[in-house]
């Protein structure tokens, strides 16, 4: 997530990495701030709007932190407004203490040739990660899904709904399959799961961390709420 004023001004990037590590190819002054981390620490949720506003104010000086505080408290009176103000203030202080970097001249890129109408433009089959194969959207993740395979009915909705095909289905074999079957039968006797799930106990859903961006769609679509979103450890 970014916030900025103009092409030749300052751009604020929500990342715990430095601007050099991100490697954005631009003449613009790029600043980074772990807005998500600040929001989680102070607000308790990964809502970064006010945090980025504070960072924007500190980096550009185009808006005062007092104006942000007044606006936030007017819109969200009480505890919610107070913690949002604290997050904005922390981001403001961090970006204010960062010196502005001079612009760097970069070589212009060669314009890509426009394909002729007769050329076949390559496409990606449905269900593949698509653009995430290049961008590796797993780097965006703040939360990750944790699957409760004991409760899972193997309906496959999590896999179907994943926008980046980051959930893989694996079939257990040998002793692993036997142990999974035994465990499922125990849960069925205890009345925890239904017989239909026992028949598919050898199936496992696993996360591909390279492509999972932690969007939470799978957890939202799970009919038994068997997927919980957990905070990614740094």
For residue 81, the domain's CATH number is 3.40.920.10
Q: What mean pLDDT value characterizes the chain? A: 79
Instruction: Report pTM.
Output: 0.52
Q: What pLDDT was estimated at residue 153?
A: 87
Residue 146 sits in the same domain as residue 200: yes
Residue 84 scores a pLDDT above 50: yes
Please give the residue range of the domain that contains residue 53: 2-96
Does residue 173 or residue 129 have the better pLDDT?
173
Residue 136 sits in the same domain as residue 225: yes
SS (H, E, C) 101-124: CCCCCCCCCCCCCCCCCCCCCCCC
Q: To which H or E segment does residue 21 belong?
A: helix 19-22
Does residue 34 or residue 17 have the better pLDDT?
34
Average of per-residue pLDDT across 118-122? 46
Residue 81 lies in a domain: yes
Q: What pLDDT was estimated at residue 116?
A: 52
The dihedral through the CA atoms of 90, 95, 97, 98 has a sign that is positive
Predicted confidence (pLDDT) per residue in 187-229, tens digit: 888 887 777 778 889 999 999 988 888 888 999 899 989 999 9
Q: What pLDDT was estimated at residue 103?
A: 45
Residue 31 scores a pLDDT above 90: no
Residue 74 sits in the same domain as residue 155: no
Count of Cβ atoms closer than 10 Å to residue 56 Cβ = 26
Residue 140 sits in the same domain as residue 201: yes
CATH number for 143: 3.30.70.20
Residue 137 sits in the same domain as residue 49: no
Judge contact between 180 and 226, C-beta under 8 A: no
Predicted confidence (pLDDT) per residue in 33-64, tens digit: 899 889 889 988 888 889 999 999 998 888 89
Q: What pLDDT was estimated at residue 157?
A: 92
Residue 146 scores a pLDDT above 70: yes
Residue 170 sits in the same domain as residue 92: no
The dihedral through the CA atoms of 105, 135, 217, 43 has a sign that is negative
Q: What pLDDT was estimated at residue 125?
A: 39
């Amino acid at each position: 997530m970014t916030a900025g004023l103009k092409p030749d001004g300052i751009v604020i990037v929500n990342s715990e990495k430095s601007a050099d590590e991100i490697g954005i190819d631009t003449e613009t002054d790029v600043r980074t701030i772990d807005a998500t981390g600040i929001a989680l620490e102070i607000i308790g949720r990964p809502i970064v709007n006010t945090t980025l506003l504070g960072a924007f104010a500190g980096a550009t000086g185009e808006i005062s932190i007092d104006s942000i505080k007044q606006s936030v408290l007017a819109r969200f009176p009480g505890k919610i407004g107070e913690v949002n103000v604290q997050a904005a203030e922390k981001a403001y202080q961090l970006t204010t203490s960062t010196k502005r970097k001079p612009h760097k001249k970069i070589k212009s890129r060669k314009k890509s040739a426009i394909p002729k109408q007769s050329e076949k433009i390559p496409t990606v089959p449905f269900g593949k990660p698509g653009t995430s194969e290049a961008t590796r959207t797993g780097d965006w993740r703040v939360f990750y899904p944790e699957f409760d395979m004991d409760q899972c009915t193997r309906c496959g909705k999590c896999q179907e709904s994943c926008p980046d095909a980051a959930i893989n289905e694996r079939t257990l074999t040998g002793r692993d399959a036997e142990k999974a079957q035994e465990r499922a039968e125990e849960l069925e006797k205890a009345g925890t799961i239904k017989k239909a799930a026992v028949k598919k106990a050898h199936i496992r859903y696993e996360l591909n961390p390279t492509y999972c961006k932690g969007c939470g769609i799978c957890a939202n679509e799970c009919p038994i709420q068997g997927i919980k979103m957990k905070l990614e450890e740094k």
